[in-house]
Amino acid sequence: MAQQLKKSIGLWSAVSIVIGSVIGAGIFMRPASMAQRLASPLLLLVVWLVAGIISILGAMIYGELGAMFPETGGPYVYLQKTYGEFTAFIYGWSTMAVINTAALASMAFVCAQYAGYFVHLPHFLPGTELSLKLHIPFVADIYPLQDFGVKALAILILALLTFINYLSTRYGNAIQLIATVMKSLALVLLIGGILFSGKGHVANLVTNSPDFHPGTWLLLAAFMAATSGAFSSYDGWYNINMVAGELNDPRRNISRSLFIGLGACIGIYLLTNLAYMYVLPIGKMAGSSLVAADAMEQVLGAAGAGFVAALIIISAFGATHVNLLTNARIVFAMGEWGTSFRGAGKVHPRYNTPGNSVIIIGVWSMLFVLSGSFDILADMFVFMSWLFYGLTAVGLLILRRKMPDAPRPYKVKGYPWLPLIFIAFTFSYLVITIYNDITAYSSGKAPIINSVFGLVLTATGIPFYLYFQRKSGTHEK
């Protein structure tokens, strides 16, 4: 019998994975661009609340599926059970080849970038940095030597986390728990320090910017665009499903950890935005390049910037670690199911970890660090993530009919209406995103159509699927 991964993740470690996956660097940057689009403090809070509620609906869907199939790989397994090997492989390919590895590179880069606030990082002379250029048609020019010190530190961070997760899942869980606790305490200090400082104005919470235009279609478009920013900050809640096979009592703890973790994140995000707006009017907030630093500067002066830099380092480091830990499990599941390299699905005989899959994800992410083209990749990440969220939600409806008698320790409340609301919102979001991307490309504001390019990159997995099918001598039935 093949060696299995140990069940070493308890409820509170699972909760820390949810919170650690969700809270990264987005909450320290995204609110400024969202404020610029909405020009209303109340609408800004509504957007964060709506995005949180939609994420809760998604968590309910993933909670039922995770309790039905408490296996390592999570969404990969659900899509395989619903649609077959092809759809599952395309999902796994998209996460492995571009989406999650690019997100990991981006998080590690942010962590290293803010470490430069405290430590001088080496760099090449400006002319030398641009001397080496790699041109990717229709995407971007890549300068591997640019920000060399930051990239080197980001690669070192990824190498360290890859090594730790290769050696021990338990050590990885411990790091995640510590990072999440530190991040949460720092956020509590930020929120409390601002709200109880007495240096803000309650009127800021209800006063719109002069740029606010109610009752127009532009406001609806702005609301949906701002929601995209909130979604990117909430993204990652489903990571707990990827390690379901390593949870103690997964049939109960998947749904419990999702609701506890996401509920905490919604509360933290709302309070953090309230703190920002208390000391920064919505118009000033919209023009901020780093809203968290500007808000803390109102309270602590120049020392506030250092506090925020340390907070971002902790948050980005924790998010990098948990995404490496969880996303390696998709590669592991693909190898275990035989739809990818068999070696990726092997458990290390000594360390009892998915060692090979950890190395694959870690090394591929390190290569993405050298590209530096994170903005384009981040936009594709959010779009493709929600495409597969929608497919998984539809899969819940299919499995209710396809497997009516299967054990369901947890069932979605309000079925089928709440899943249908989630599906409708997801469909609307995808359509509006494609429309906005095409509009931005047509007007020259974007070099590519991000959502369409994400679909094209995902489709590059088709030849690999055919190769693995031919190599294994199996065909999907």
The whole-model pTM stands at 0.81
- Is 407 inside any structural domain? yes
Output the six-digit token pair for 326: 């969880």
Tell whether omega for the bond before 144 is within 30 degrees of 0, i.e. cis: no
- Is 92 inside any structural domain? yes
Indicate the number of domains in the chain. 1
Give me the amino acid identity at 21. S
- Is 131 inside any structural domain? yes
Whichever domain contains 16, its CATH number is: 1.20.1740.10
The DSSP-derived string for 337-374 is HTSS-GGGGPPPTTT-S-HHHHHHHHHHHHHHHHH--H
- Is 170 inside any structural domain? yes
Buried b (16+ CB within 10 A) or exposed e, 69-104: bbbbbbbbbbbbbbbebbbbbbbbbbbbbbbbbbbb
- Kind plus residue range of the DSSP H or E element containing 441: helix 417-442
**Between the CA atoms of 166, 167, 170 and 174, what dihedral angle is there, to the nearest 10 degrees?**
-80
* Domain coverage including residue 413: 11-472
Burial, 148: exposed, middle or buried (Cβ in 10 Å; 0-12, 13-18, 19+)? middle
Q: Are 176 and 17 in contact (CB under 8 A)?
A: yes
Q: Are 142 and 372 in contact (CB under 8 A)?
A: yes
- Is 346 inside any structural domain? yes
- Is 387 inside any structural domain? yes
**How far apart, in Å, are the Cα atoms of 460 and each of 202, 389, 453?**
52, 20, 11
Closest to 296 in 3D by CA, of 429, 197, 167, 215 = 197
- Is 399 inside any structural domain? yes
The angle at the Cα of 168, spanning 163 to 172, to the nearest 5 degrees, equals 80
pLDDT by residue, tens only, the chain of 477 residues? 455 666 777 888 888 888 888 888 788 878 888 888 888 899 999 999 999 999 999 989 998 998 898 887 888 889 999 999 899 999 988 888 777 787 888 888 888 888 888 888 887 766 676 666 666 665 556 666 777 888 899 999 999 999 998 887 777 778 878 888 888 888 888 899 899 988 989 999 998 888 777 766 667 777 877 887 788 888 888 888 877 777 888 878 888 898 999 999 999 999 999 999 999 999 998 888 778 888 888 888 877 878 888 888 888 898 888 888 888 888 888 887 666 677 777 888 888 888 889 999 999 889 888 876 665 666 667 788 889 999 999 999 999 999 999 988 889 989 999 999 999 989 988 888 888 778 877 887 766 677 777 788 788 889 988 888 887 665 444
- Is 451 inside any structural domain? yes
Q: Are 93 and 458 in contact (CB under 8 A)?
A: yes
Beta-carbon contacts of residue 444 (< 8 Å; ≥ 6 apart): none
Phi, psi of 405 (to 5 degrees): -100, 5
- Tally the C-alpha atoms within 13 A of residue 272's C-alpha that lie toward its C-beta: 31
